[in-house]
Amino acid sequence: MSTEIDPRLARLLDKQDCIELVHRLARAIDRCDAELVRAVFHPDATDDHGSFKGTASDFVPWVMDVLAGMRRTQHVIGNVLVEIEGDVAHGEAYFIAHHCLPGSDGQGDSFMVAAGRYLDRFERRGGEWRIAHRGAVYDWSSTAPSTDMWDRAAMPGFAFGARGAADPSYRHFAALPERIAAE
Amino acid sequence: MSVVRPDQVADRLAIADLLCRYARGIDRCDEGVLRAVWWPEAKADYGSGEVDALAWSGDVVTALSAMRRTQHFLGNMIIEIDGTSAEAETYCRAWHEVDSADGPQEMEVGGRYLDRLERRGDEWRILHRRYVLDWSRNGPSTARWDGPLYDGLRRRGARAPHDPSMTGE
């Protein structure tokens, strides 16, 4: 950056980059897009989801496998607190994660909500913020039989969330091609 | 990976604010607030086809007024800005309480707003919106307003012009 910017503005930009990483990771997970998941982590990043502890590169196939057993998910992010210390930042992002799970042995689907916080360490390397470590903390959950009433196949006019490039958001963001191509 | 640029800070804040004003317009049934988020020729498609967004705003306030209450909880926002246009994806968890023959029902809908926005002069507004449905949860309302905890919490959300944010109550 050639011109000097107000340090408060610089801090805001750093925080915004970190918040956006949290939002992009939620999108990547909900769309089951392994490439987008990898893109938010540094190559040597680590992850601790409780049921998974290891490198981010091992986390990707693990989480894709977990997601494959679910019909759909939505990870809603709420409050995000980010503390910047130079090229390192720590974040606490509240989440409410919604999961539709297929029932076993002819049982109907169930709807599982898990809420907690992502404790992230962000690092800026070569001018770019990415996640160096993610830890998930679980606060509460609720599970009940699914009460989703949409007969998706019979509602052709509606846009429904999907995994992968079939989701309407890919076409939506492609309207600004030079930006998305950079990812 | 796009990086947030210093010259776009004001644009991003204005867009985030605009998206929040949409939720406020809806939840407070405030047609004036709701209409002000759209450019005059804006189109919206909530699943039953593309319609004129300003005309829709009037209709939706009528429909919402028939419900007991709603809360549109906005979460994740991914905002891509290119000069005077922008694309945004905003997660929303929309809670509705509606009357039915079987008593009040709760409908909760998880979805996303896919918006195309434009800046004209200093002002950002929505030019096109598509709503995507992800999940829903439906059943008898579990809302409680009386009892040991709630008796002490009497200030409740309302529709315009009775909401505490407007009355100063």
Domain ranges of chain B: 6-157
Mutate which: A96, A150, A163, A172, vs B, most B CBs within 10 A? A172
- By a Cβ cutoff of 8 Å, what residues of chain B touch chain A? 1-6, 9, 12, 45, 47-49, 73, 75-78, 80, 82, 85-87, 89, 91, 93, 110-112, 114, 116, 130-139
Pick the CATH number of B6-157 from 3.40.50.300, 3.30.70.1140, 3.60.150.10, 3.10.450.50: 3.10.450.50
Range of the domain at A129: 7-148+158-181
For the stretch B16-51, pLDDT in tens is 999 999 999 999 999 999 999 999 999 999 998 999
The reported pLDDT for the residue numbered B59 is 96
Place of tokens 């409780």: A50
For the stretch B59-99, pLDDT in tens is 999 999 999 999 999 999 999 999 999 999 999 999 999 99
Contacts of B67 by beta carbon, 8 Å cutoff, 6+ apart: B96, B97, B98, B99
The reported pLDDT for the residue numbered A176 is 67
Which among A12, A147, A169 has the least Cβ separation from residue B112? Answer: A169
The reported pLDDT for the residue numbered B145 is 85
Beta-ladder partners of A92: A81, A119
Cβ <8 Å between B75 and A76: yes
Cα–Cα–Cα angle for A140, A100, A29, rounded to 5 degrees: 80
Number of domains comprising chain A: 1
**Residue A129 located in a structural domain:** yes
**Residue A1 located in a structural domain:** no
For the stretch A68-86, pLDDT in tens is 999 999 999 999 999 999 9
- The amino acid that residue A107 corresponds to is Q
- ipTM of the prediction greater than 0.85, yes or no: yes
- The amino acid that residue B128 corresponds to is H
Q: Is B91 helix (H, G, I), strand (E, B) or coil?
A: strand
Burial label, B26 (beta-carbon count in 10 A; 0-12, 13-18, 19+): buried
Cβ <8 Å between A148 and B110: no
- Name the pTM for this structure: 0.91
**Residue A41 located in a structural domain:** yes
Q: Is B154 helix (H, G, I), strand (E, B) or coil?
A: coil
Burial label, B37 (beta-carbon count in 10 A; 0-12, 13-18, 19+): buried
Look at residues A96, A144, A122 and name the one whose alpha carbon lies nearest to residue A18. A122
pLDDT grade, residue B150 (50/70/90)?
confident
**Residue A2 located in a structural domain:** no
Antiparallel, parallel or unpaired: β B123-140 and A159-160: parallel
**Residue A104 located in a structural domain:** yes
Residue A107's CATH number: 3.10.450.50
DSSP type of residue B161: T
Q: State the smallest CA–CA distance between residue B115 and chain A in angstroms.
A: 8
Judged against a pLDDT cut of 70, whether residue A183 lies above it is answered with no
The H-assigned helical ranges of chain B are 9-27, 31-35, 53-65, 164-167
Q: Of A20-29, A118-127, A147-156, B143-152, where does mean pLDDT reach its minimum?
A: B143-152
**Residue A65 located in a structural domain:** yes
